[in-house]
Amino acid sequence: MSIRPPILLFICFQSELAVVERAPTSESYARVDYHPECEAAINEQINIEYNVSYVYHSLYAYFSRDNVALPGIAAFFKKESEEERHHAELLMDYQNLRGGRVKLQSIMMPEMEFSHPEKGEALYAFELALSLEKLNFQKLRALHEVAEKHGDSQMCDFVEGDLLADQADSVKEFAEFVSQLRRVGTGLGVFEFDRKLQA
């Protein structure tokens, strides 16, 4: 006698229900095929996003000083800091969605002085930021590779749709700012660049 599909479905449901009922309260009931390496990689990316946010917040404070006085650049880095923090929160929400555990790590103390005798502080800051954006892009691609390695198509979709495309745009934007600042030098051109960012 063959088992009819509705009965087969009910048997599968019963076995899943038994797993949920036996699970200790410290374990997630939402976790389904979420590899521990994927969970660890998400936690690492959360830490990267928070570290980049902290550096950008340091740049915001620096360019807000009365003896630096570049409010457009300051506001830009404040906005970027908030965006990186938002990315960290997206990753935390994703971790909880998949039944993982968020494990926050230490954040490194960033530089607080960004003056540079040859390049000027604006170019130096944007070159630093560009290198961070490129690093972040590489780390997101590595995160995607971990998801692919474990056949986690949902995580691949999340990284591609919510993070990688936005990060590629950021790399291009910062690269253009570095090019513009190299062109204008350290004098009045930086003041005009700052005004452009305020607009």
Rounded Cα gap, residues 195 and 187, in angstroms:
13
Q: Where are the domains of the chain?
A: 34-198
pLDDT tens digit string along 111-149?
Answer: 888 887 778 899 999 999 999 999 999 999 999 999 999
pLDDT value of residue 199: 78
CB–CB of 180/171 below 8 Å?
no
pTM score, whole prediction: 0.85
Confidence band (pLDDT; 50, 70, 90) for 27? confident
pLDDT tens digit string along 2-19?
Answer: 555 566 656 666 666 666
* CATH architecture of residue range(s) 34-198: Up-down Bundle (1.20)
CB–CB of 110/54 below 8 Å?
yes
Rounded Cα gap, residues 144 and 170, in angstroms:
18
Give the closest residue to 133 by CA, choosing from 51, 57, 75, 73. Answer: 51
pLDDT value of residue 15: 65
| Residues making up the binding site for Fe cation | 49, 84, 87, 133, 167
Confidence band (pLDDT; 50, 70, 90) for 97? very high
pLDDT value of residue 155: 98
| Residues making up the binding site | 49, 84, 87, 133, 167
Q: By percentage, how much of the chain surpasses pLDDT 70?
A: 87
Residue 175 has pLDDT above 80, yes or no: yes
Burial of residue 184, with CB atoms counted within 10 A of its CB: 0-12 exposed, 13-18 middle, 19 or more buried: middle
Residue 157 has pLDDT above 80, yes or no: yes
CB–CB of 147/95 below 8 Å?
no
Residue 72 has pLDDT above 70, yes or no: yes
pLDDT value of residue 1: 47
